[in-house]
Amino acid sequence: MLLLPLPRRHRRPLLLPPGLLALAWLLWLGCMAVPQVRGVGLQHVMEVNFLPLDPKLDLPAEYRTGDYNLPYSSPATIAAFRPWQIFAVTGNLFEDYFALRNAQAVFHHLQVDPNHDRGLQVHFSRRASYSSLVQLLDWCNVYSMKKYWVDLRHEPTAFYTFTTKSKPIKKLLPPSPLNLIMCASVVEINNDRESPSWLEAQLQLWNSDWRNSVLLLLLLGAASAYRLGWGWEAH
């Protein structure tokens, strides 16, 4: 019987093995690449307020006149308010797809050329999906539509949005130091923000949301590098 010698075993503490250095930087690269992945964007939450069904309940007086009274008007009054482009969401997947695409095109036209009295109506049948309504409300935010409401008082449930032709305004004096203390003067201030530079984008990693994760990755990387260097010196 041939006895083989047992392999010599080296005991060492299992603390931050050298391979953890590569894993730490791999996690770092993944965190840096996630915001740049195509199709992954910043998510938003939009709050929508609905007026009470009864106009006599908790409704300020200014909401009972002019355009604000439209949600409580009859369908005939709303139809005569201005020209409308009307679409219907019935619950049929094929028909709803084209209806929503056409509605999105109308949203785009209302945003590009808002200086007209026109609007959009979308009627919902009982089988329509709730996601269609959410999509329309999201487009109001995307296309900067400020005047819209959902009619829950009449059948069928309908979504409305419209634009109003602006009224001509009097020509104002150009802004000057003297006009700053006069009434009816307008001073235009350019508040456009330039796109952040590469340095500013990197500094955003040090905000309160990313600071702890970045420091932890740097600590793991430094400890692994020290451990790896100490192991090489020992051998």
Specify the 3-state DSSP secondary structure of 47: coil
Report how far residue 54's alpha carbon sits from residue 59's, in angstroms, rounded to the nearest whole number: 9
Q: What is the pLDDT of residue 47?
A: 76
Which of 151, 93, 150 lies closest to 127 in space, CA to CA? 93
Is the separation of the CB atoms in 105 and 120 below 8 Å? Answer: no
Q: What is the pLDDT of residues 68-121, one digit of tens each?
A: 677 878 888 888 888 999 999 999 988 999 999 999 999 999 998 888 889 999
Q: What is the pLDDT of residue 200?
A: 64
Predicted TM-score (pTM) of the model is 0.52
**Rounded percentage of the chain residues whose pLDDT exceeds 90:** 19
Start-to-end Cα distance in the chain: 36
Specify the 3-state DSSP secondary structure of 17: coil
